Amino acid sequence: MKHATIIPTRWTRADALKVNENDPTTTQPLVPADFPVMSDTVFIWDTMPLRTLDGTVVSVNGWSVIFTLTADRRPHDPQFINADGRYDIKRDWEDRHGHARICYWYSRTGKDWIFGGRVMAEGVSPTTREWAGTPILLNNNGDIDLYYTCVTPGATIAKVRGQVVTSQSGVELRGFTQVKALFEADGTYYQTEAQNATWNFRDPSPFIDPKDGKLYMVFEGNVAGERGTHEVGANELGLVPPGHEHVGGARYQVGCIGLAVAKDLNGDEWELLPPLVTAVGVNDQTERPHYVFQDNKYYLFTISHKFTYADGITGPDGVYGFVGDHLFGPYTPMNASGLVLGNPPSQPFQTYSHCVMPNGLVTSFIDSVPTAGGDYRIGGTEAPTVRIVLKGDRSFVQEAYDYGYIPPMRDVVLSQ
User: What residues are annotated to the active site?
Assistant: 46, 287
Query: Could you give the CA distance from residue 283 to residue 308 in angstroms, rounded to a whole number?
Result: 6
Residues 337 and 320: their CA atoms lie apart, in Å, by 9
Secondary element (H or E) of residue 376: strand 376-382
> 113 by DSSP, 3-state: which?
coil
| Three-state DSSP string of 244-263 | CCCCCCHHHCEEEEEEEEEC
Distance CA 258, CA 189 (A): 9
Residues 164 and 195: their CA atoms lie apart, in Å, by 40
Other beta carbons less than 10 A from residue 253's beta carbon: 23
Give CA–CA dist 245/243, Å, rounded: 6
Q: Are 171 and 60 in contact (CB under 8 A)?
A: yes
Indicate the SS3 state at residue 203: strand
Kindly give the residue spans of alpha helices, DSSP state H, lying in 124-256.
234-237
DSSP string, 264-328: STT--SEEEEEEEEEEETTBS--EEEEEEEETTEEEEEEEE-STTBPTT----SEEEEEEESSTT
Of residues 289, 336, 338, 291, the one with CA closest to residue 315: 338
- Specify which residues 205 forms β-bridges with: 218
